[in-house]
């Protein structure tokens, strides 16, 4: 019985290896581009609900507010440009006040398939490889395209083969996991979009959750 279990484990490992050997990054990239054009609009905005955002909005000075509603945080996406985090119902010069949080969205990996130009940059710098390849999930290992070498600072991106979206991203710093992003998607009309991101700090196991509400597609 023990030999059978070992043999099954070896076969499973070999199946992942063979798939990875047969696949090429360019084939994966073409699948992502093709699906992105169908599943993601060229432009959208969406409200982001998050406890940290809500607390920060309450601290905004009254003199910089304008418009008819309460200030709210939105993501603005343009294909070819990526994402911006903006504040609505606030004076124009302060709309980018939360731009530092754009890194949160980038941590999720979502923009790398919604805006494949970001993934293209990593591919062109030769900072990506197929780590594992299975029938349902494909795992890419990627490094910062600006880094000089492939070191111990990298990320694993888990791609759902059915939709070619990133369902999970795990970032390593000095060889140790430090941030995990878990992305949840569903259909909004004809598009397949994220509705929740959970970021986990791997050092203290604390979570930060972002909900996507009230999508507005195309202008």
In contact, 24 and 198? CB cutoff 8 Å = no
In contact, 98 and 121? CB cutoff 8 Å = no
Domains and CATH numbers, the chain: 22-217 (2.50.20)
pLDDT > 90? residue 18: no
Q: How far apart are CA 120 and CA 132, in angstroms?
A: 20
Which of 154, 105, 142 has its CA nearest to residue 29? Answer: 142
Which spans in the chain are helix H?
A: 2-22, 25-39, 51-58, 102-108, 110-114, 117-124
Each residue's pLDDT tens digit, 48-107: 999 989 999 999 999 999 988 899 999 999 998 889 999 999 999 999 998 888 877 778
- pTM greater than the 0.75 cutoff: yes
Q: How far apart are CA 68 and CA 165, in angstroms?
A: 36
Each residue's pLDDT tens digit, 181-192: 999 999 999 999
Each residue's pLDDT tens digit, 131-149: 999 999 999 999 999 888 8
Assign 219 a pLDDT band (cuts: 50, 70, 90). Answer: low
């Amino acid at each position: 019985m023990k030999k059978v279990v070992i043999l099954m484990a070896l076969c499973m490992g070999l199946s992942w290896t063979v798939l990875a050997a047969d696949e090429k990054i360019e084939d994966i990239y073409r699948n992502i581009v093709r699906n992105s054009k169908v599943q993601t609009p060229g432009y959208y905005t969406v409200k982001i609900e998050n406890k940290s955002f809500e607390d920060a909005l309450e601290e905004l000075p009254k003199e910089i507010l304008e418009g008819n509603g309460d200030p709210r945080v939105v993501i603005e996406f343009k294909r070819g440009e990526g994402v911006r985090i903006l504040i609505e119902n606030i004076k124009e010069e302060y709309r980018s006040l939360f731009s530092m949080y754009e890194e949160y969205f980038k941590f999720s990996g979502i923009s790398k398939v919604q805006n494949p130009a970001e993934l293209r940059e990593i591919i062109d710098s030769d900072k990506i490889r197929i780590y594992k390849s299975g029938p349902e999930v494909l795992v890419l290992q990627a490094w910062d395209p600006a880094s000089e070498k492939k070191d111990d600072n990298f990320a694993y991106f888990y791609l759902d083969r059915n939709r070619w979206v990133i369902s999970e991203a795990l970032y390593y710093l000095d060889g140790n996991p430090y941030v995990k992003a878990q992305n949840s998607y569903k259909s909004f009309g004809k598009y397949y979009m994220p509705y929740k991101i959970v970021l986990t700090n791997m050092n203290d196991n604390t979570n930060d959750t972002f909900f996507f509400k009230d999508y507005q597609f195309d202008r």
